[in-house]
Structure 1
Amino acid sequence: MSTAESEDVYSDLYSIISQVTSNTANDIEQLPYALTFKTSLIFVGATVGGLLFGYDTGVISGVLLSLKPEDLSLAVLTDFQKELITSSTSVGSFFGSMLAFPLADKCGRRITLAICCSIFILAAIGMATARTLKFLICGRLVVGIAVGVSAQCVPLFLSEISPSRIRGFMLTLNIIAITGGQLISYVIASLIQDIDNSWRYLFAFSAIPAILFISILDFIPESPRWSISKGDVLYARDSLKMLYPTASTHHVNSKIKQLIIELDKLRIYKDVSEPLLVQAHSPIRYVDTSVSGTSSPSNGKRLSSNTERNINTISSSSAILSSLREPTSNGVTSHRKKRHRMEPRTIRALIVGCVLMFFQQVTGFNAFMYYAAIIFARFDIKNPLLPPILIASTNFIFTFFAMYTMDSLGRRAILLRTIWIMTLGLLLCSVGFGHNRVSLLLTSVVIYVAAYASAMGSVPWTCVEFLPLNRRSFGASCIACTNWLTNALVSMTYLSAINTIGDESTMLVFAFFTVCAWFFVYFWYPEVKGLSLEEIGKVFDDGVDVHYVFRTYH
């Protein structure tokens, strides 16, 4: 097919679905969304990985406080060995994030999360029974792999199943789960700290949420976008009906058509036109969605005229997509020639996401989360786990602020309004360390954590929404890998840094990075509130249009 003919066919195709691509009035994602028990179970279940992420990263503070050298057949447990135990999870998470990319694309988001929970269970058993330092570090590496997979796959999954009107809310729900897991780990550590080998129980408890997730797996649908990218239109339709139980047949089928067209524009179809055509031309497998249950070839249900028209349009779309993939004279389709190229707008989106995630970690938050008990134990506090509980509680509570403002105020706005408060908190921390004043130190840490949780702790994880579907898993892995590399760097060097340059100077280094983060957000981070995943790409078409939303819709 010639270039001119291809352009004509595309023109005809886009004319057919013009009401879908150019007008969002009928977009299922723009309709008012009411949470039901079943949809709530889907979203809450999807965040179990985040809960385990938070628990297994936060639990180390209580573990280091109760872990004794003889428990690991050691004469003494050095600061360097503590750093190894702590940072090994971050190192494992880096590899887990790399593994998550091909796993999520090949097996699907839902099955990947199930595999992730299975790894959590195995790691929990291994860490709880560790008798040597090497075995414990290996267990932390394995749980880090699971943490890395969940950190990449949970926001990816949530971004693809959440309506655009509440996508920021749902993505922040994952952060709520993470901070809640951290808080739970501190509370449990405080309650059982007087029990012998309490750290073993802390590790063992992490298997419980993973077991619960696997038990409700049948109630969680696959991402409709992933299903369509694999050619399974029927499963995508069933998933949309589960996610939007009150939506009409027209809205569900319109969304399917829109996703098919958007996926083709991204050049991600690879050998899926045949399945699409088989399903789209098979009226016996399409049933009126007003009928509950899964369609069956034997039910003989006659379609309504509206449903038939919707399916015929899908069939026309699929046929045109198939014709566009006919082999050229060289025997290679034009789509396959380009599928390995990353578009400039995708590169820009990925850079923004990775840089923001770098600033999330290099500003020092996890230094407090991992080593808070050790830090405050130096001040001769009776229960050194109480300050960490206060810090984790602040983190948990103010994440709700991010949840309720991300979609109303916007991601960019809350970042610009809170990063400077983080800077202030770190400067006060430096003063508190310098004058050895526990009250000032604790107050300043709370200020810093409150500002961090309100934006910086949540927003970088939502950057996966910047990426097109054909690069979303890969991009999410890159963003997560950036997180874990920086996290490992901070956790592996913090105790050594405060022993070398002092606590107050270390806080000043963190404060310097918060200033850099503010300027990066001001010049490079765009606002995307209210945009569908398919429209966000326009923000990066020509550079990074940080004011696209306001100029276009306000």
Structure 2
Amino acid sequence: MSDGSIEMSTLHREGLAPILEDDARDDDALLGSENDLEEASKLVRGEPGIWVWLLVVSAGISGLLFGYDTAIISSALLQLANPPESSPIPALTVAEQSLVTSITSISALISSLCSGPISEYGRKKAILAAAIVFILGAVSQSVAGSVQGLIVGRFIVGLGVGAGSAVVPMYITELSPAHLRSRLNTLNTVFITLGQIVAYLIGYWYSHTPFGWRPMFLLGGVPAAIQIGLLFFLPESPRWLIQHGYVEQATSVLARIYGIKQEASNAADKRMLSHLVRSIERGVRSENELTSTSAKWRSLFGKRGNKRALLISGGLQGFQQLCGFNALMYFSSLIYAMLNFKNPTLTSLSVAATNFTFTLISLILIPKVGKRRLLLYSVPMMALGLLTAAYGFSHLPSHEITGASKTEPPNTTDPSSSFYAYVILFSTTFYVASYASGIGNVPWQQAEFFPMSVRSLGTAIATACNWSSNFIIGETFLGLMERMGAVTTFVLFAVICIIGWVGIYLGYPDTEGMNLEEIEALLSR
């Protein structure tokens, strides 16, 4: 094969030359030397510019809000279950603890389903709406004077979290170059884990403050306010711009993403931008064929590729929650209090730090190992960690949780002399590390599976699978621990991990390095 053929093959792999035959003559007129093509190929495979990182970081604050909410409730429950005598809110029962925790999942489920139509008015506008709603919820929680008021505030926060969790990955996917998409989407997950660390630090800071749960909830609105300010500097998704006829603006955004100065661009740069715009326009033409919501539903469930995309993304999102991770995030302080660790919130912080660290590691591993292989390697390790935790619980005198009010079970030995308490701590930490390396990251890259014609709808439904499964875990975990015991509960989660591994092995494709159109073709086979 000639050098020129190699270079053109590279362009095809990177998604820069999906050219129709009737466009070939015009493209040849733009074609410069072979060196021009080689430089364009190097450019598209290079590192993203600082501008791209800033865009992803600004949008990723929604992930931080998501993580903060999942973790701050763990610290707040310890205080809400043991309030001072002057508290207007009486000690929460087990049922009330479960409802306060899980109600955000219900509202997040609702808003994630609505995020598809809302995002059609603009990805930026949808992110802005989510941030505003989150602030309203943070304030409502912090001033609550009754259990009902607290539940309402938690419900409002869930609306913001659910919308952000659905729209931001889609925004990042549409903004990212193909070969960097996985890494930039993982950065959004890094923000989720960072939010969890921040929540545990704030929880620890206010752990001995009367009514400390009020500032815990209120401070969650600060990142949302910062995001609102940053949104004024974010561009709209280039795919959304082309979809709505703003081709020049989209071309300008794409040029900045790839570091091209339009006024001084060479032939290879112009060719690259032309290919990118044409590729997106073909997706837009497909989108425009589906003018009604009912037509989009028929397309999503009527085409083989779309059904397969929904099965994969929805299945992964459900598995991400049903494997039990957020049970640990929501109730880790209760678990470690039951094990009689002196500061359960600080102990929970070590687990959150592990989650953050291994999410960063996955940022490096995903491009090198691939998403499919990483899932196949990490999920069995999750099952091993859960089974080891169950083994540790089986050797403790007391291994049932009946709520935060029982923070010191009478028969639990001090962790300084309890080998099995530390077995549980280390095994759950190992489980979290395995989770963060794979299933904690990969499902949020779901937007790449859907063609633009059904992307907003498919992403919304897949995210709804996450939140509905999240609700099941939040609502049932304490009940399972009370009725079945910790050993059976953790074994159950391990079995779910094994079932999930089988599903990944049979149905999850390797899409690393493919552009969105190539992924669509793969799923349609």
Do 1:268 and 1:470's aligned partners in 2 also have CA atoms closer than 8 Å?
Answer: yes
SS for the counterpart of 1:73 is: coil
Q: For the residues of structure 2 that align with 1:393 and 1:417, how far apart are their CA atoms?
A: 22
For the pair 1:219 / 2:233, whether they are aligned, the reply is yes
5 Å matches for 1:273-288? Answer: none
2:109 to 94, 98, 105: 94
Do 2:283 and 2:451's aligned partners in 1 also have CA atoms closer than 8 Å?
Answer: no
5 Å matches for 1:26-425? Answer: 31-67=44-80, 68-69=82-83, 73-105=88-120, 107-246=121-260, 248=265, 250=270, 251-264=272-285, 266-268=286-288, 340-342=298-300, 343-425=303-385
Q: Residue 455 of structure 2 aligns to which amino acid in structure 1?
A: R
What residue in structure 2 maps to residue 442 of structure 1?
425
SS for the counterpart of 2:232 is: helix
Larger RCO of the pair (alpha carbons < 8 Å, separation 6+): 2
SS for the counterpart of 1:535 is: helix
Q: For the residues of structure 1 that align with 2:42 and 2:484, how far apart are their CA atoms?
A: 52
Q: For the residues of structure 2 that align with 1:29 and 1:463, how far apart are their CA atoms?
A: 27
Q: Residue 343 of structure 2 aligns to which amino acid in structure 1?
A: N
Give how far 1:267 is off.
4.5
Q: For the residues of structure 2 that align with 1:218 and 1:237, how far apart are their CA atoms?
A: 19
Give how far 1:351 is off.
0.7
TM-score (norm: length of structure 1): 0.80
5 Å matches for 1:510-529? Answer: 510-529=493-512
Q: For the residues of structure 2 that align with 1:164 and 1:26, how far apart are their CA atoms?
A: 17
Q: For the residues of structure 2 that align with 1:213 and 1:393, how far apart are their CA atoms?
A: 24
Change beyond 3 A, Cα 1:338–1:201: closer
What residue in structure 1 maps to residue 34 of structure 2?
none
Q: For the residues of structure 1 that align with 2:497 and 2:41, how far apart are their CA atoms?
A: 39
Alpha-carbon deviations, 1:500-550, whole Å to 9, x = none?
Answer: 0100000010000100111111110000000011111121122xxxxxxxx
1:455 to 418, 438, 441: 438
Do 1:426 and 1:508's aligned partners in 2 also have CA atoms closer than 8 Å?
Answer: yes
Q: For the residues of structure 2 that align with 1:202 and 1:497, how far apart are their CA atoms?
A: 28
SS for the counterpart of 1:509 is: helix
5 Å matches for 1:6-21? Answer: 13=22, 15=24
What residue in structure 2 maps to residue 327 of structure 1?
none
Give how far 1:77 is off.
1.5
Give how far 1:15 is off.
4.9
What residue in structure 1 maps to residue 520 of structure 2?
537
Report sequence identity in percent: 33
Alpha-carbon deviations, 1:87-120, whole Å to 9, x = none?
Answer: 0111111011012110011x21111111111111
Alpha-carbon deviations, 1:200-227, whole Å to 9, x = none?
Answer: 1011111111111111222211110111
> May I ask how many residue pairs the two structures share in their alignment?
465
Give how far 1:471 is off.
1.0
SS for the counterpart of 1:94 is: helix
Change beyond 3 A, Cα 1:138–1:339: closer
SS for the counterpart of 2:191 is: helix
Q: Residue 253 of structure 1 aligns to which amino acid in structure 2?
A: S
Q: For the residues of structure 2 that align with 1:267 and 1:187, how far apart are their CA atoms?
A: 45
Do 2:447 and 2:459's aligned partners in 1 also have CA atoms closer than 8 Å?
Answer: yes
Change beyond 3 A, Cα 1:189–1:492: same
Change beyond 3 A, Cα 1:533–1:26: farther
Q: Residue 431 of structure 1 aligns to which amino acid in structure 2?
A: Y
Q: Which blocks of at least 5 consecutive residues in structure 2 are unaligned? A: 1-18, 31-36, 397-419
Change beyond 3 A, Cα 1:16–1:57: farther
Q: Residue 332 of structure 2 aligns to which amino acid in structure 1?
A: A
Do 1:429 and 1:440's aligned partners in 2 also have CA atoms closer than 8 Å?
Answer: yes
Do 2:182 and 2:445's aligned partners in 1 also have CA atoms closer than 8 Å?
Answer: yes
Change beyond 3 A, Cα 1:231–1:128: same
Q: Quick check: 399-408 or 445-454, which moved more?
A: 399-408
Change beyond 3 A, Cα 1:338–1:42: closer
Give how far 1:463 is off.
2.0
Q: For the residues of structure 2 that align with 1:391 and 1:213, how far apart are their CA atoms?
A: 27
Q: Residue 85 of structure 1 aligns to which amino acid in structure 2?
A: V
Q: Residue 373 of structure 1 aligns to which amino acid in structure 2?
A: S
Give how far 1:31 is off.
1.1
Do 1:29 and 1:163's aligned partners in 2 also have CA atoms closer than 8 Å?
Answer: no
Give how far 1:37 is off.
3.6
What residue in structure 1 maps to residue 404 of structure 2?
none
Q: For the residues of structure 1 that align with 2:510 and 2:473, how far apart are their CA atoms?
A: 29
What residue in structure 1 maps to residue 461 of structure 2?
478
2:481 to 498, 512, 534: 498
Q: For the residues of structure 2 that align with 1:26 and 1:194, how far apart are their CA atoms?
A: 59
Q: Residue 427 of structure 2 aligns to which amino acid in structure 1?
A: S
Report the aligned-residue RMSD: 2.4
Q: For the residues of structure 2 that align with 1:134 and 1:29, how far apart are their CA atoms?
A: 58
Alpha-carbon deviations, 1:349-374, whole Å to 9, x = none?
Answer: 11111111111111100110000001
Do 1:30 and 1:165's aligned partners in 2 also have CA atoms closer than 8 Å?
Answer: no
